[in-house]
Amino acid sequence: MAISRIHPLFLLLLLLLRAFALLPTQAAARGGHDLSDDGDHGSISRNLLQDKPHITEEMTRGYMSNAELETAVHAFGSRCSNISRVYSIGKSVNDFPLLVIEISDKPRQREAEPAFKFIGNVHGDEPVGREVLMHLANWLCDNYLKDPLANLIVENMHLHILPTMNPDGFALRWRGNANNIDLNRDFPDQGALVANYPWDGTKDTGKRYYGCPDDKTFRHMASVYSQSHYNMSLSKEFEGGITNGALWYPIYGGMQDWNYIHGGCFELTLEISDTKWPKAVELSVIWEHNRMSMLNLLASLIKSGVHGRIFAADTGRPIPGSVTIKGIDSKVRASRTFGDYHRIIVSGEKYEVMASMEGFRPKSTRIVLEQEAVNLDFILEPDGDDGQMKLLRNDYGCRCGNGMMFHVEEAHIWLYLLVLCVVLTLYLVFKRKTASRLLAYRYSPRRPVAV
């Protein structure tokens, strides 16, 4: 995901998505579910003018308002500043700030660690996610340096929590945003309790099991959540409390599939309440039912899979290559800063792992992934001059597209020419002054030098 002139707000959103894209994430939701809908599935979002459920004041009592949620997020940032920072990715249609909590032992630094995101309340009439996510943030803050699981999570990843992605819909008490558009990603939806995984749709729009290349890994991730839940795995509707999205009901244009294809993100849709707007007194119970599921899913990112860095053999510097697994038609990209990658795969199997990058010779190795994560670094040999050029391009910090490279190189060429002209001018001036002094010295009387 070359970049030239971009609106600052869009750039912030893009950078946030890219930071998340390196690793498995959990967020999203199945949006716009309508069992009678047989219309155009190609649109990215669905207009829900007809979807305005009647939500009474009694139902909303006990839930944080948008203003109260904003205050709670900032209060958390102040109380837990040693392991968190609060930042904004923009504003909603009605100008409400979209605040994100980052939790890490080094929240303001880049590290060679995985990233994970939780997103809640993208459907305005499904507010459980925003409440539960604040419970999660506070639990991590309260238990850091006290609980081994909290320590593991805080010290080994960067967790990003967006409690509400649709504050306007929440304020209006309907599913869509202020423009009545379904943002198509959320936690609870249509009264289900299940961990849903890709694909969400099929090529022919049929309703059947349609697994993605990482189907086995997604089933594992969904099972980690379901098995850790109070009763999700006991579902009579979904075996083991998990389901393939296309088998449940196909949707198209959702965040879950899009991020997997375009960003390399591993996303689950977690339906954590069988009621869209449960009574506020039930929220603490829902949090307790989901607490270990959320924590164990976070921990599984650290405890399993293959992690490492990619380096250039000639310079020893990290490079942003890609990692693939033989037999799985998907790849993860290493970061530009540290060359680190994090690949979630199922334990108990043998894998052939390959690292590659344009301008370098690929390298592969076989591993046996048992119950613990494997650390695997790659050192790639440059493939002639092309590898060196590729490394130089990355040093410029560009996206390495041909158009962008032309502008970067052109700018540096003119800079070099300017410096060369200045040096030559100084040289000529110096030479002329030296010649004049030599002539004066040659034809003037000698003077005694006092020592």
Q: Tell me the C-alpha distance between 451 and 62, whole Å.
A: 93
Helices (H) and strands (E) in the chain, counts: 12, 18
CATH architecture classification, 306-382:
Sandwich (2.60)
Q: Which pTM was predicted?
A: 0.74
pLDDT the model gives residue 85: 98
Encoded tokens for 234: 């006991």
Q: Which pLDDT score, from 0 to 100, does residue 360 have? A: 97
Closest of 259, 372, 272, 383 to residue 321, by C-alpha: 383
Q: Structure tokens of 441?
A: 């010295």
Integer Cα distance of 427 and 439 in angstroms: 19
Q: Distance from CA of residue 136 to its chain's centroid? A: 18
pLDDT for 9 equals: 37
Q: What is the DSSP string of 70-89?
A: HHHHHHHHHHTTTSEEEEEE
pLDDT at 431: 55
Which segments within 304-377 are labelled E, that is strand?
A: 306-312, 322-325, 328-333, 340-343, 349-356, 363-369, 374-375
Exposure of 163 in the CB half-sphere (CA atoms within 13 A): 32
Longest CA–CA separation in the chain, Å: 112
**pLDDT at position 263:** 80
β-strand pairing of 192-197 with 267-273: antiparallel
Q: Residue ranges of the domains in the chain? A: 62-303, 306-382
Q: Which residues pair with 26 in a beta bridge?
A: 268
pLDDT digits (tens, 9 = 90+) for 266-320: 888 888 988 889 999 999 999 999 999 999 999 999 999 999 999 999 999 999 9
Say yes or no: domain 62-303 is CATH 3.40.630.10.
Answer: yes
Q: What is the pLDDT of residue 411?
A: 38
Place of tokens 């700018």: 411
For 245, other C-beta atoms within 10 Å of its C-beta total 25
Residues in the chain with pLDDT < 70? 1-53, 184-192, 385-451
Catalogue the active-site residues: 271
Cβ 362 vs Cβ 290: under 8 Å: no
**pLDDT tens-digit map of 176-221:** 999 988 886 433 344 667 788 787 777 877 888 888 899 999 899 9
What pLDDT is stored for residue 113 in this prediction? 97
CA 371 to chain centre: 25
b/e for 401-440, b at 16 or more Cβ within 10 A? Answer: eeebbeebeeeeeeeeeeeeeeeeeeeeeeeeeeeeeeee
